[in-house]
Each structure stands twice: as C-alpha cells, then as structure tokens.
Structure 1
Amino acid sequence: MHRYVVKIGSSSLTSDEGGLNRDKIAFFAGELAALHQTGVQPLLVTSGAVAAGFTEIGYRKRPKHLHEKQAAAAVGQALLMQAYQEAFSRYGIGVAQILLTRSDFSNRLRIHNALMTIDELLRHRIIPIINENDTVSVNELKFGDNDMLSALVANLVKAQQLAILTDTDGLYTADPRKDPDAKRIERVEQITAELLQMAGGSGSSVGTGGMRSKVDAAQIASRGGVPVFVGKVKEPGDLLRATEGGGKGTYFETTVHPLSTKKQWVGFHSLPQGYIVVDEGAESALLTGGKSLLPAGVTEVSGQFEPGDVVEVQNLSRRVIGRGIVNYAAWQLHVTAGLSTEEVIKRVEVPRMEVIHRDEWIPFG
C-alpha cells in the first residue's frame, strides 16, 4: 500500500493575525480525503498549534518566550484537532493525533512503538495527524515549522512521496517577489550548496519555516529514499496532481532506495556523541568504495563516545560526510588514529578492527 506524507504549515491554516481559518482546514481535508479515496494511505504532518492558540489564550501577537509558546500550543493543539476531526468527518474519515519530539526519534524503542501505532492506524484507514509536542519540547521549534519532522516521518514510514505544502509554487532561482527574472526550478536531481544558497528565509510572520528549511527537509527525505514535492496546493485536485507529477512546485528526486529502520536511526534520528575527521583516502573509500573505516584513515577525534555510539564523520574540509556506529571508545581512537592494523593490535583491544563497519554507515556525500 502506497503511503504519502503531506505537511501543511501554519500560514496555510491560519489567518495573518493568528487563529484557525476553518475554510482553509476544510479545503485541505477535502484534498486529503480525495487522496485517501484513491486507496493510498495519507499521513498529515501539521503545524499551527501555537498560531491557533495564542489569540485564544489572550496574546496580542505570536509569543516570543518559550513558556508562552508552550502555553499557546497546549490550547491550540486541542483546537487544531477539533477542527481536523470535524472537517474529515464530513468524508467519513477518522483521524488520530500523534505528538512527537526530537528525543522520540533518537530513542530506538520509542520511535519503533510510534511506527507500530502509525501502521495500525493506517491499517484501519485512519489518517494520523502528526505534530511536534511543543508543550514539552525543551528547545524552541527544533523541527523548523515541522518541515524536518515531515522528512523524518516520511523516511520512517517509507513513504512513496513527501509533499511539503507552502504558499509559494516551488523553489526559484531568486526571490520572485523582488526579482522579475526569477525562474522556478521544476526538478532537482541533486541538492547542491548553490541550491541551498538560493533558498531564502522565512516569509511569514505566522510560521517559522522558510524555503531553506523545506530544502533541508527535502535533502533528509531524499537521502532516505523518499522523493519530495515542495509547492502550492490552492485549487481542488492540486494535491492529487502533485502526487502524480503535475503539481505547482518543485520536485526533488532521489536514486536512493528506502533505508532500513536501523540505518534511518543511525543517519537521521540518533544524536551523535562526537565526530571523527578522516583523510582523503578514507573519505573516498567510505563514499565511493563501499569500504569500512579503519584507524589508518582517522586524523582527528572529538567527543566522549563508547563502542556502539553514533558519531559524525567529517572530511579534511570539516564537511560532514556521514554517520556511523563506532566500535572504539574515544580514548582508544585517540591512541590509534593514523596507525596500521598491526600497530592497533599492539595498543588496544577492540571487538572489531573497523572503526565504523560499512554495514553501520550512512553516507551524506
């Protein structure tokens, strides 16, 4: 059964002053219902709890302090789910609320349980409505208006596509509001540094995500094997057209196969406990040679990690080229970095000679 993750931001669900716009919610419910009726399994990642709640709680404008945002989210989340429940009930579709934090993804047991819950809901044709648990999150807006959350969810459920809906019809070569010569980029085969530079900042006072956060999310999703659509859904049928390749936006393609749950956790969900810098030979072996990382290729070590922890790997230019599960404690790698296998055996006792085995490695290059 095909799965499609659809992310809707705050500005698409609320008025400019804050508060829910019921007409907008009814429209998106209709679009998702049409997708649901084709037999696929849609999942909705929504923003809007803070924007929905801050006017209700009595704030004149969107709050700045964390405790005020959390209070607004606590009020707004109930309003948001009530509005979705009423809108989807018109189509005979049930909905379920799932609230997640970044720490849920970093804990393999918790995110596995979340996936089992999602699978069960989809089996019963209920649409999961997923949002960040703003009320208990310790860092402000870590998911970038839930763009990153939608990418992690799309990878988790091995979706056929992630659709990030926005008020702009895709990524442009420049800001189309300021540059009349700006051209829309129809398809992206590879997200480059130049492309990331094109993605500007946030254009809305209600939401928190700009085009850059959407391109960052597309990069994470495509690395996990999920193609991404970033664009506009304004007319009836636009969402179906977007899933069929004719949407009003930019398509980010991928040639990567969906990753196993373990590799997803290593690459995107885990919290690295340090980093390792490698030389050019090791970089090439990891990115194109399909090889494991040996101590001889390590030039620098940072952090306090133990065997089984996840670490980032950087090249000599300090660009992160991937993540992996390390087989050495930090102190062991400090004393063996740059040494041959024979020398390593003389100095430390480790369960495996590889610093990171290729089966426990996720490249970002």
Structure 2
Amino acid sequence: MSSHPNSFWRWSKRLPQVAPEHRLDLGAGCTPLVRSRRIGPAEGLSNLFFKIETANPTASYKDRFATVAMSHMLAEGQSRCVTTSSGNAGAAIAAHCAAAGITCEVALIVTAPSGKVSQMLVYGAELYRVADFGRDPDITRETFEQLKRRGEAPDAAMQITAYCYSPVGMEGVKTISYELAEQMQTPAEHVFTPVCGGGLALAVARGFADLVEDGALTPGPKIECVQPEGNNTVAGPLREGMDQATAIDRCTSEISGLQCPSLLDGDALVAATQRTGGTGHLVSDEAVYAMQSRLAREEGIFSEPAGAVAAAGAVAARRSGLIRADARVVCLVTGSGFKDPPSVDRMLSGADVPTVTLDALTTEGPPS
C-alpha cells in the first residue's frame, strides 16, 4: 500500500475496513478535474468542468471499485473472482486480480469492443461471451443469477459493479465525490453522470450524501443521470416524476458500456437522485458520437462514447434551459477512447495520412 498523501487509501476511514497488508493500490483515484476551454464557452456554460476518470490505471473509473473489491477478497482469503462486463469493469478487475494473484473469470456482454477484450486478455483473465447478454433482459437476468451461483463457492466471490450485487466494492466509487469536494474551489451545483445499471451515479450521490451528513459540504450537488435513448430505464422515469426505474424489453443503443435493460440499482438511484433535486436526461447515440469527437477536437480529451454521454447530457440540458449559464457543472468522463477502436474508426471515417517525399515536402510543403 502506498503511504503517499494522495493514495486512494487516504479515504480508508470512509471505506470498508481492510487491513493495510491486504490493500491493493495500483494508483486509482486522484484523477484531474479540468475546466472546459471551448465546449463550455461555445454552449453558454461558463463553469463547465470535466472529471477525467480515464487517468485511472486501466483508464476507467472502475479501478476505484476493483481496488476495494479485490483488497477485500485478499483479506477474505478468496482466490477466484467471477464477474461480467462490457469491458471496463472486466479490465479493472482483471488487472487487480493479476496484482493480487486471484483467478479472474469474465462473462462478456456480446457487444464488448475489441480494445476492452484485448485489455482483459493481457491481464490474464479467462473470457467468454454470452449470446444476447446485455440486450435481452431475461437472458441478462439469468446470466447474473448463474454467475452469482458460481461466485458462492467458498474460495470465490462474484464482483459486479452494482450495489445490488457487490456493495463492498461499490463503496470505492464514492471516492469520486470526495475528490470533487476537494477539487472544486466553489462546490459543484450539478454533477452529470452516465447511467447503465445505475451503480456509478448512485455511488456518487451517496458519496456526496456522506459529506453533507458529516457537515463537510452544504448542500450537495444535484445528480443528473444521462442515458442513451435506447436504454431508457432511469432517465425517462426521473423526468416524468416516477418513483421507480422501468425495465425495457430490449436495449437498442449501440453505446458500449451503457447497454443494460435490467434495473439493477435503478430504483435506488431514482430515489437518491430525487433527494438531490436532480433529474434524468436522454441523448441520442448520434449526439454521443458527436460529443466524443468534440471532446477530442475541442478539449483534447480522448473518451470512449460512454465517457462522452455526461457531457452530451449537460449540453442538451443547457440548450433546453434546464441549467443556468453560470451553473457550476461537472461531467464525468468515465473511460478512454483507446478502449473502443470501432468508435475511433467511426470518428476518423474518411481521414487519410498521405506519404510525401522529402523533395515534395521541401518544395511544396505538407499536403493540405
């Protein structure tokens, strides 16, 4: 364990108790918070910030979960981890399992991008895909139950980034809120977060609730839940004032990492979001891809599509007049563009890198 004051474990008093000798630390947390230089001003948001979770060791916020979950498994003497993933959770868990000497088995959502699959394989994880997992709610639910049974062996544990399955590991995700409270000179008023099964946004809401309860922050920000239109389980119900999430028959969004027709933490997230005064926001897949490109070309932030969803939601909210022009807004950028090569190919469609001779470069200059 690192003793550095910026170590993830500086929050140990707020995290599940793990003896120091069992604490893994690959460098999760302490991610940058940067002010928007171009998108914010262009969209009339003078105080727009991005929390760059791509700076975590496996390039997504899921390292916060894996740090606590795998440390807890070490403390419990468990040697086999069973999980499911569209990529980011699997990569984070596989890396921390490698460091801990724990066997890692990952059931992949069928649409998991090649970059994320390769990352998991590099860390030595055992992978397999489950047909229609992540699209069909019945298959998704039964897959979770099968994995849960596999994780009930004495030497094993199932680790899934949802409170309903792995509440210990999810406590690590709350550190996003603790860091934001430290990093913002004036507290954030809105925190926009992408929503899949709801665990991330719920952890962020609960993290801020901890700070408010302790008197360290008054008040907490509004949690703003953003989903692709094709996976509307939480955002729509929130906008309609419903008190529960709504399962859908089938996810139609192509945004990897946000394809979950099941509720998981949805009901708890609806309640937590409403307590903050926040709401839900729906964005099209095309708006997400457009924001992925804008983040790269206007802010220098290389995000996968799912990591651009929060920013797409914030821009849509400002255009609709739902947030003030001077509101202090934070968008979570949750995963790196390197993880989703097909989305990068889409962004670069038609781009070409010509080869020129030195003579041509000297006489004519670079090609336009």
Global fold match (TM > 0.5): no
Structure number, greater radius of gyration: 1
State the TM-score, normalized to the length of structure 1. Answer: 0.28
TM-score for the superposition, normalised by structure 2:
0.28
Select the structure that is richer in helix.
2
Q: Where is the strand percentage greater, Structure 1 or Structure 2?
A: 1
